[in-house]
Structure 1
């Protein structure tokens, strides 16, 4: 036991990246030379609940805003992502098959990943024919609850250089975190699930790093459902700007 400061972070799906963000901030601010960001989670089986019964849900305003433009469904999380998918289809002519192809790609990758929760490959027809959860999302396009853990060691450039670790280090050239804007509740299902927040965060990272979407060969995004993948690549400017129908 060394008495070092420990900060507990709880930020829902962004908890891991938030811990990484705070660790990097501590180093940039001169409060630490080396930080360990780590986390683990054991989730309850089944669909995500609405939160504790003795307090207001942090998602209440988002749910109410979405309920004004789309009929409420349960479970709530797939409904929110499904609504964003339906909105995308209506605006840009996206089809259910487009979203299913993202699921097909993800399942195909899992076969070669020993750390994947499931390592099963499904055909496009399998994905489209699976049980419908929230149109256009079938069961094989929705993430199950998952248990897991991860750890990242962050260090200052001076710490890395003094210990000869440069060959093992990966530089963080840009990092940003945003929260809801007024536009989150402007009547767009995509904004309710974070479209505008992602756009702003991407712009900040590009400005910090001096890089742009054309400089990336690959990207990784949180994909609780397939519309989030589709929207994320657009948010970051990696897929060009979608054109409205008509």
Structure 2
């Protein structure tokens, strides 16, 4: 089950994760997977990144690298030539596991490990098929994809959102208030030829996911009186059963 938690969205992501901030990713070559892998190396030339091609479409790939300014943080990129890309900021120690979770058809994760393959939403991996040696695919009944265009309107404020600098980014900071204003800021800074907002996935809606009954990682630290990194550690170590969040 997908338990890892992103810290922030990269500014050039196509599919923003709700509830977390946006961080400037302009110093990372997110269009070239080999260049991503080579961004930072240890002594002796060993890379602190990785990339590989995916089989679901020609030109699909995933990659990650430690940030050259903050090596304890890493950037992960999942690129699909038809369905766009996700750019996330993570803890570097989580990057290899995140890389593994993105293998196969999973393009992004949302509420509690629900995942999307570009056309269909599936429930979290829980039912193991011993014969086929993989988790059973369980499509979400009556799922609706919610895009950035569905959330934003032409009058959305852009001055309330803030783009953070990775060098000053605080992983322990509280989640941003009025996240829609941050989403509007992100939308206002996209390139003219960027993916249309109507194709930028934010989350899903389904009868089995009543929004007023779900509490995700951004809100849980306040309720539990702990800091966000501690909660992410609990989830990664499978020490708590909580809505696993997004990516």
Do the structures match in fold with TM over 0.5?
no
TM-score range (shorter-chain normalised) is under 0.3
TM-score by length of 1: 0.27
More helix by share: 1
What TM-score comes out, normalization by structure 2 length? 0.26
